[in-house]
Amino acid sequence: MMQTPQEEPYRRGMVVVAHPDDAEFGCSGTVAKWCKEGLEVVYVIVTDGSKGTPDREITPQQLVEMRRQEQIAAGKVLGLKEVVFLGYPDAYLQPTLELRRDIVRQIRRFRPDILYVTP
């Protein structure tokens, strides 16, 4: 009887989302499970999060920094290896060659076994 090679367990995961906190609404339960199981998980956040607040007193740059810090804190709670911010302006994202290149660069850098991408 022919033996099939045993599959190696996943070791690395990556989540690519458009905005800070998108992953928390979409897959944070799964990510928490992955981290608990010992996977090294990385978030790649594409936009800077500079839009979408009802607070007219906060500047876009303040909002960017606040969302960055919130995302880093959420990553620590989940046990992420790293959070990468690509810094594209919020609300102006286009499917450009540059964007694809930047995402592929992170995939090649971290070499995930599992890749979760939101639309």
Q: pLDDT digits over 38-55, tens only? A: 999 999 999 999 998 899
Q: What's the predicted TM-score (pTM) here?
A: 0.91
Residue 4 lies in a domain: no
Residue 7 lies in a domain: no
9 alpha-carbon distance from chain centroid: 21
Q: pLDDT digits over 52-107, tens only? A: 889 999 999 999 999 999 999 999 999 999 999 999 999 999 999 999 999 999 99
- pLDDT, residue 2, reads 52
Q: pLDDT digits over 3-20, tens only? A: 556 678 899 999 999 999
67 alpha-carbon distance from chain centroid: 13
Instruction: Determine the Cα–Cα distance for residues 1 and 28; give it in Å rounded to an integer.
Output: 42
Domain that holds residue 71: 12-117
Torsion of CA 70, 74, 80, 81, to 10 degrees: 20
CATH number at residue 66: 3.40.50.10320
Three-state DSSP at 91 gives coil
Residue 3 lies in a domain: no
Residue 2 lies in a domain: no
Residue 55 lies in a domain: yes
Closest CA to 51 of 81, 10, 20: 20
